[in-house]
Amino acid sequence: NTDNVMEIINVFTITQFPLLPDYIKGVINLRGQIIPVLDMRLKLGNHQSVDMGSMKSCIIILEVNSTTLGILVDEVFLVADVEKTAIAPPPANNKHDLITGIVEIEEMVHLIFDLSALTKVA
């Protein structure tokens, strides 16, 4: 839901903390606000983390339920308004509670995530 997106920023220094789940990369200081950053690849069970050295990788800053959170992603290549009627339920074999639907845009299937569930795990 793009209503929750505050901004998309380039990846800069992420301060790591020990004893956190591997998908929590650490925190960033964005204009004086300390924001936790999640690696979406690791959160979804991929064994390879986002390449923070890539020129395309970025952090999506979200505000959900009064919580600010950064999501580290490989790339943002599309921002689109989608009608709710165009969103289909996730496949029956969906293993991730975070995925709440799928939508096809320009012949590509995109996943819809439950952003409030992300804030509960951060």
Q: What is the CATH number of the domain that holds 75?
A: 2.40.50.180
Rounded Cα distance between 14 and 16, Å, is 6
Parent domain of 41: 2-121
* Residue 1 pLDDT exceeds 80: no
- State pTM to two decimals: 0.80
pLDDT one-digit tens code per residue, 79-92? 888 888 999 998 88
Number of structural domains found in the chain = 1
Rounded Cα distance between 1 and 87, Å, is 12
pLDDT one-digit tens code per residue, 54-86? 888 999 999 988 889 999 998 888 788 888 899
DSSP state of 88: B
How large is the C-alpha radius of gyration of the chain? 15
H or E segment and range at residue 109 = strand 108-113
Average pLDDT of the residues in 42-52: 82
